[in-house]
Amino acid sequence: MSTELDFIPPAKPIIGTEEREAVDRVLASGMVAQGPEAAAFEQEFSAALVGGREVVAVNSGTSGQHLGMLALGLKPGDEVIVPSFTFAATANSVAVSGGVPVFVDVDPETFTLDPAAVEAAVTERTVGIQPVHLYGHPASMDQLVEIAQRHGLWLFEDAAQAHGATWNGAQVGTFGDAVMYSLYPTKNMTSGEGGMVGCASSETARQVRLLRNQGMEKQYANEVAGYNNRMTDIHAAIGRVQLGKLPAWTATRQANAAFFDAHLEGVVTPVVRENASHVYHQYTVRIEGATAAERDAFATALREEHKVGCGVYYPTPVHRLETFQIDLDLPVTELLAREVLSLPVHPSLSELDRERIVAAVNTVAKAGA
């Protein structure tokens, strides 16, 4: 029985009996490492989300970005254009692959790469662009594809938060040379931990497969120095079940978002471009004009006075983290880092939860206005 005092968590993975039965089936088979479940998961994921492109399963989204970039031919010192307003993995994956992340600003409405800023950042050392479909809203893919083609750059989509989002009616992940999806527990679907790499060419896919498994396609015929970034069949079995549930979960996220759009007051609600569908990994509002301290106080009031969990993704722009410490002026990124606040939008919200979230946000916004 739920009472009004239950804390509404900001995210909540849904693991059902089907997932448990799938894991049991793999455990009972005695073959738990990468095998037939992972292969079936790749096929099903490709058909459902990546327009039939070849997909390679790996042990995390970050591994997928790392291997994908190596497969695309990234060499030490090569520059890759990335947003700074994202999770650190976007830039980390460039850095650990030997490349140099070049941070540019984002669009203030969609929070995704600003194509004009990308164009301005291209140098003779640039080899690729890594747009992030942040919170589940697609980046401006027509302009980014055009810029990439004109300069001969590869495009690697970071779709960690955007399983199934569309742009001009096509799913994200079908625009670039490669795409990565994360299967971390708080993402729109999970395998426990895991990542999927979709590839436009079968040669890129082959390279990712080689790098995933010690450089081997045939056992003990190692071709290159590779890694062990395989996905176990235990994880793949969970992912296969979750993939089947994703469409209904996405529809619920979208219905929750529509409810918030209609009822929230005193905050800036998310923009959805006319040619886009948003899958609401996060429902992120802006507390317009707030300082970081004021936004943090808003979040504290939601949590402590109203028991509404919420999150700030991301409070520090990646270029300013200790990892990179780059002195850059990215005004939209700085503004968003001060103002954004993500509300629970996950598919386990009850109707009462949604009403409590709206009442809480509207009350706190009014008190602060």
Ligand X SMILES: *Cc1c(COP(=O)(O)O)cnc(C)c1O
User: How far is C-alpha 312 from the geometric centre of its chain's CA atoms?
Assistant: 15
Q: Among residues 112 and 364, whose Cβ is nearest to ligand X? A: 112
Burial tier of 304 (Cβ tally within 10 Å: 0-12, 13-18, 19+): exposed
Q: Which segment (54-62, 221-229, 237-245, 303-311) binds ligand X by CB under 6 A?
A: 54-62
Q: Among residues 61 and 347, whose Cβ is nearest to ligand X? A: 61
Beta strand 79-83 with 126-129 is: parallel
Is 195 among the residues that bind ligand X (CB under 6 A)?
yes
* Residues 127 to 186 in contact with ligand X, rule: CB under 6 A: 132, 158, 160-161, 182, 184
* Residues 55 to 74 in contact with ligand X, rule: CB under 6 A: 60-62
- Catalytically active residues are 187
DSSP letter string, 252-277: HHHHHHHHHHHH--SSBPPP--TTEE
- Mask 75-94, x = binds ligand X (CB under 6 A)? -----------xx-xx----
Contact 162, 279 (CB under 8 A): yes
Q: How far is the CB of 355 from ligand X (least distance, A)?
A: 29
Q: How far is the CB of 143 from ligand X (least distance, A)?
A: 20
Q: Among residues 69 and 290, whose Cβ is nearest to ligand X? A: 69
Task: Collapse the DSSP code of 189 into the 3-class scheme (helix H, G, I; strand E, B; otherwise coil) and give the result.
Answer: coil
Q: Among residues 60 and 140, whose Cβ is nearest to ligand X? A: 60
Contact 10, 344 (CB under 8 A): yes
Cα gap 162→173, rounded to integer Å: 9
Is 256 among the residues that bind ligand X (CB under 6 A)?
no
Q: Extract the tokens encoding 239.
A: 């992912």
The CA distances from residue 225 to 49, 180, 184, in Å, are: 30, 22, 27
Q: Among residues 135 and 260, whose Cβ is nearest to ligand X? A: 135
Q: Quick count: other Cβ atoms within 10 Å of Cβ 149?
A: 10
- Name the residue whose CB lies closest to ligand X: 61
Chain residues that interact with ligand X, rule: CB under 6 A: 60-62, 86-87, 89-90, 132, 158, 160-161, 182, 184, 195
